[in-house]
């Protein structure tokens, strides 16, 4: 659009007054500069919109596997600390495990598995409850034991749906069929 009056030495016959600068340079009319400028602005908006579309880093299946592999020993560690009566370490391990599990929400969001997000939130809520029970001055060993069992149950609730075990290698993996 507007190409004819923008090209230098136009043969279109429509003569427009052209201003000459002191240096004798011909400047194109402002209307010729606007399209490229607005195009650049559009590109910028598009880039920003795209960037906002994915506010979270990509969390792959390998990330999920790695997260779960570290989570296992950490959560087992909570139990070990509780058995030792070491509530400070149990609390630290609970907080660390909660952080690890929390970031995996991105995986389920990307796959649009609302049910898995709910299962995950239940596990996180129970870890918060355990953290709270370990944060009071006189920790009730029976209460924290029960809460730790509830955390385990929340892990299992997701595993029965989304995890499967290779019959030969005994390795755990994502149950792909559950994602469909
Ligand atoms: C929302 C679903 C979900 C929740 C909640 C969840 N997991 Fe997992 N977990 C999985 C899936 C899927 C796998 C299989 C992925 C893989 O290992 O590649 C898995 C695998 C595992 C594995 C096996 C890792 C391996 O490959 O050897 C362990 C251990 C584990 N999870 C521990 C936990 C613990 C502990 C919790 C609770 C604090 C928990 N998970 C909560 C989905 C979940």
Residues contacting residue 21 through CB under 8 Å, at least 6 positions apart: 27
Residue-level pLDDT at 65: 96
pLDDT band at 7 (very low <50, low <70, confident <90, very high): very low
Confidence bin at 11 (pLDDT 50/70/90): very low
Rounded mean pLDDT, 129-152 = 98
The answer, yes or no, to whether residue 1 has pLDDT greater than 50, is no
Which residues are CB-contacts of 15 (< 8 A; sequence separation ≥ 6)?
A: none
Of residues 139 and 20, the one with the higher pLDDT is 139
How does residue 48 score in pLDDT terms, banded at 50, 70 and 90? low
For ligand 1, whether the C-beta of 69 sits within 6 Å is yes
Can you give the pLDDT at residue 73? 96
The pLDDT score that the predictor gives to residue 10 is 44
Burial 73-89, CB ≥16 within 10 A → b, else e: ebbebbbebbeeeebee
Cα of 61 to ligand 1 centre, how many Å? 11
Nearest alpha carbon, ligand 1 atom 11: 163
CA separation for the pair 128, 147 (Å, rounded): 10
18-23 contacts at long range (C-beta below 8 A, 24 or more positions apart)? none
Best mutation site among 61, 116, 129, 155 for ligand 1, i.e. most ligand atoms within 8 A of its Cβ? 155
Query: Per-residue confidence at 180, pLDDT binned at 50, 70, 90?
Result: confident
The answer to whether residue 56 scores a pLDDT higher than 60 is no
Residues 104/59, Cβ–Cβ less than 8 Å: yes
Q: What is the mean pLDDT of the chain?
A: 84
- pLDDT digit string, tens, across residues 121-137: 999 999 999 999 999 99
Alpha-carbon gap, residue 13 to 3, rounded angstroms: 13
Residue 108's nearest CA partner among 122, 94, 128 is 122
Q: What is the mean pLDDT of residues 9-38?
A: 56
Q: Residue 23 contacts by C-beta under 8 Å, 6 or more apart in sequence?
A: none
Residue whose pair of structure tokens reads 């400047």 in the numeric block? 27
Pick the more confident residue, 19 or 156: 156
pLDDT classification of 32: cutoffs 50, 70, 90: low
């Amino acid at each position: 659009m507007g190409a004819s009056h923008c090209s230098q030495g136009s043969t279109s016959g429509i003569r427009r007054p052209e201003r000459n600068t002191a240096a004798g340079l011909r400047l194109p009319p402002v209307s010729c500069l606007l399209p490229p400028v607005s195009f650049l602005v559009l590109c910028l908006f598009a880039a920003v919109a795209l960037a906002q579309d994915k506010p979270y880093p990509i969390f792959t299946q390998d990330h999920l596997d790695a997260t779960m592999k570290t989570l296992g020993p950490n959560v087992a560690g909570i139990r070990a600390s509780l058995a030792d009566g070491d509530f400070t370490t149990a609390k630290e391990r609970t907080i660390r495990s909660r952080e690890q599990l929390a970031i995996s929400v991105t995986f389920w969001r990307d796959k649009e598995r609302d049910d898995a997000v709910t299962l995950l939130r239940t596990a996180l809520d129970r870890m918060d409850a355990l953290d709270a029970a370990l944060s009071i001055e006189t920790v009730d060993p029976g209460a924290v034991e029960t809460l730790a069992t509830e955390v385990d149950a929340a892990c299992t609730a997701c595993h029965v749906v989304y995890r499967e075990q290779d019959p030969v290698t005994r390795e755990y993996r994502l149950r792909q069929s559950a994602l469909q």
